[in-house]
Structure 1
Amino acid sequence: MPQIDITLAEGRTPGQIRNLIHEVHAAVLRTADTRPQYIRVVVREVPRTHWATGDVTLAEHAHQEQQ
C-alpha cells in the first residue's frame, strides 16, 4: 500500500492541491504495480512563517525580495 507524503509551503489553491494529488496518484498507479484504492496521498501545508532555510523563513525571504 503506497503512501506518499507531500509537504508544501502554504499558498496554493484547492484546485492546485487537487491536481497535485491526481497527478501523483496517476504516477504511482503507472509505476508501482498496485491498485488505485491502495494509494494514499497526504498533502501537508506549512505556514511560510514555520519553514526556514538558512535561518530565514519563507515569509522573510519573500519580504526581502519585495524590497
Structure 2
Amino acid sequence: MPHVVVRMIEGRTEEQKRALVQRVTDAVSETANAPKENVTVYIEEMPKTNYAVAGKLASDK
C-alpha cells in the first residue's frame, strides 16, 4: 500500500489539490503497479512564515 506525503506552502485551491492527488495517485499506481484504491496521498501544508529558501522566509517575498 503506497503512501505519499506532499509538503507544500499553503495557498492552493481545493481544485488544484484534487488535480494534484489524482495525478500523484495515477503515477504511483502505474509506476508501482498498485491498485489506485491502495494509494494514499497526504497533503501537508505549511504557512509561508514556516518556510525559507536561501535564508529568507517565503512570507517576506
For normalisation by structure 1, the TM-score amounts to 0.84
Taking the aligned partners of 1:37 and 1:10, their CA distance within structure 2 comes to 26
Cα RMSD, aligned residues only: 0.9
The aligned residue for residue 11 of structure 1 is 11
Structure 1 segments (4+ residues) deviating >6 Å: none
Distance 2:18 2:45 in 1: 13
Normalising by structure 2, report the TM-score: 0.91
CA deviation string 1:2-32 (max 9, x = no partner):
1110001011111001100000001111111
Query: Gaps (5+ residues) in structure 1?
Result: 63-67
Task: Indicate the percent of aligned positions where both proteins have the same amino acid.
Answer: 31
Which of the two has higher C-alpha Rg? 1
